[in-house]
C-alpha cells in the first residue's frame, strides 16, 4: 500500500507544494485508489496532486472523515476532475459547523454547493461498509473514553443556535494490509482511543499496526486552545500499551502535541508533511 500526503499543514523546506491547514491523503491499495479527505478551501491538495504526479481522475472512491472544511475544501474542484468516484461521507457531515475563536464564531462546515450540485455523488455511510476488498469505512464510533479537550470550541448550528458538536459526522477508514490494519483518522475528534477501540471491536482478530491522521490535540488553525500535557501523555502511553506500531500524525495534533508525545512514542511517531510518501 502506498500513501501520498497531498496536504498537511506543513511541508519540507524549499518545497514548491502548496500548504494550508488541512489534510488529504491519496492511497493506493492493490490497484484501487482512494482519496481520503480533500484538504482545505484553498484547494491546495488538488493543486498539489499534479505536482506529485497523481491523476485524480483515476480516484476510485473518496472518503470524507468529517464535515469540517479543512477536509472537504477540495471536493468541488475534485468533482470537476473526476466524474465517477463515489464520495463516502456521513449525512451529518452536511450540517452547519462552527468554531468559536477569540475573534468570534466562524463557519467551518462543508460548502453548501456540494449538496446542491453533487448530491448524487454522495454515498451516505450508516454502518461499516467494505467499499472495496480489504478497504472499510466505519461510521459508528463508540465513545467509551473522553473526547479531545479541544472539541469544546467546536459547535453545530441547529435551529439558529450553537450547540456542542457531538461529532456524529465523523467516520474512519480501515485498510487491511496482509492482516495488519491501518486506521486512518481525519482529525480524531471522537478521540483516537475511541476510534482504535471501535476498530478493535469491528475487527477483533486483527492487529492494528498503523494509525495515520490528526489527533486533535490543538484546536483548528490556531494554537489558542491546546490539550493539557497530561491528556497528550496519557494518549501516547495508551498507544504504546495497545501495541500500535507506528503513528503517522500531524495536522491538528500540532507541534506541541507531537513534541510532548515524542519522549513516549519515540520512533513510533512519524511526522507527516505535504508531499510525504509512505509505503506500508
Ligand atoms: Fe482538521
Ligand atoms: Fe475537524
* pLDDT tens digit sequence for 236-261: 999 999 999 999 999 999 998 999 99
User: Domain range spanning residue 217?
Assistant: 2-279
For residue 208, the CA-to-ligand 1 centroid distance in Å is 23
Contacts of 231 (CB under 8 A, 6+ apart): 148, 149, 217
Q: pLDDT grade, residue 149 (50/70/90)? A: confident
Strand pairing category for 135-138 and 172-177:
antiparallel
Q: Is the pLDDT of residue 158 over 60?
A: yes
In angstroms, what is the span from residue 23 Cα to ligand 1's centroid?
6
Å from CA of 149 to ligand 2 middle? 13
pLDDT at 96 over 60: yes
Dist. CA 205 → ligand 2 center (Å): 30
Number of structural domains the chain divides into = 1
Q: Is the pLDDT of residue 221 over 60?
A: no
Rounded Cα–Cα distance for residues 51 and 130 (Å): 31
CA of 252 to the centre of ligand 1 (A): 6
What pTM was estimated for this model as a whole?
A: 0.97
Proximal ligand: closest to the CA of 21: 1
- Each residue's pLDDT tens digit, 64-85: 999 999 999 999 999 999 999 9
DSSP code of residue 225 = S
What per-residue confidence (pLDDT) applies to 55?
A: 98
CB-based contact 115:91 (threshold 8 Å): no
CA of 178 relative to ligand 2 center, distance in Å: 30
pLDDT band at 102 (very low <50, low <70, confident <90, very high): confident
pLDDT attached to residue 101: 83
Q: What is the CATH number of the domain that holds 71?
A: 3.60.15.10
In the reported structure, the alpha carbon of residue 205 is separated from the centroid of ligand 1 by a whole-number distance in angstroms of 30
* Distance between Cα 64 and ligand 1 center (Å): 11
Ligand number nearest CA of 154 is 2
Q: How many CB atoms lie within 10 A of CB 44?
A: 25
User: How far away, in angstroms, is 71 Cα from ligand 2 center?
Assistant: 7
Closest CA to 94 of 126, 67, 73: 67
pLDDT of residue 224: 58
Amino acid at each position: 500500500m502506498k500513501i501520498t500526503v497531498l496536504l498537511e499543514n506543513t511541508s519540507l523546506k524549499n518545497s514548491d507544494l502548496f500548504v494550508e491547514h488541512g489534510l488529504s491523503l491519496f492511497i493506493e491499495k492493490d490497484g484501487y485508489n482512494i482519496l481520503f479527505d480533500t484538504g482545505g478551501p484553498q484547494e491546495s491538495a488538488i493543486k498539489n496532486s499534479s505536482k506529485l504526479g497523481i491523476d485524480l481522475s483515476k480516484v476510485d472512491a473518496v472518503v470524507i472523515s468529517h464535515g469540517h472544511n479543512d477536509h472537504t475544501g477540495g471536493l468541488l474542484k475534485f468533482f470537476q476532475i473526476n466524474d465517477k468516484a463515489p464520495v463516502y461521507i456521513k449525512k451529518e457531515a452536511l450540517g452547519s459547523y462552527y468554531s468559536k475563536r477569540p475573534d468570534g464564531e466562524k463557519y467551518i462546515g462543508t460548502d453548501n454547493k456540494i449538496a446542491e450540485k453533487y448530491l448524487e455523488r454522495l454515498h451516505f455511510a450508516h454502518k461499516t461498509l467494505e467499499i472495496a476488498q480489504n478497504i472499510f469505512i466505519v461510521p459508528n464510533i463508540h465513545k467509551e473514553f473522553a473526547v479531545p479537550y479541544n472539541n469544546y470550541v467546536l459547535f453545530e448550528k441547529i435551529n439558529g443556535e450553537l450547540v456542542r458538536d457531538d461529532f456524529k459526522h465523523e467516520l474512519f477508514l480501515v485498510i487491511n494490509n496482509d492482516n495488519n490494519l491501518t486506521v486512518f483518522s481525519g482529525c480524531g475528534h471522537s478521540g483516537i482511543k475511541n476510534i482504535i477501540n471501535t476498530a478493535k471491536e469491528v475487527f477483533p482478530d486483527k492487529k492494528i499496526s498503523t494509525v495515520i491522521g490528526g489527533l486533535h490535540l490543538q484546536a483548528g488553525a490556531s494554537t489558542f486552545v491546546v490539550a493539557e500535557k497530561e491528556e497528550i501523555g496519557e494518549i501516547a502511553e495508551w498507544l504504546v500499551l495497545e501495541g500500535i506500531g507506528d503513528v503517522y500524525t500531524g495536522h491538528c495534533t500540532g507541534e506541541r502535541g507531537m513534541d510532548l508525545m515524542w519522549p513516549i512514542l519515540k520512533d513510533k511517531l512519524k511526522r507527516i508533511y505535504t508531499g510525504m510518501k509512505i509505503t506500508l
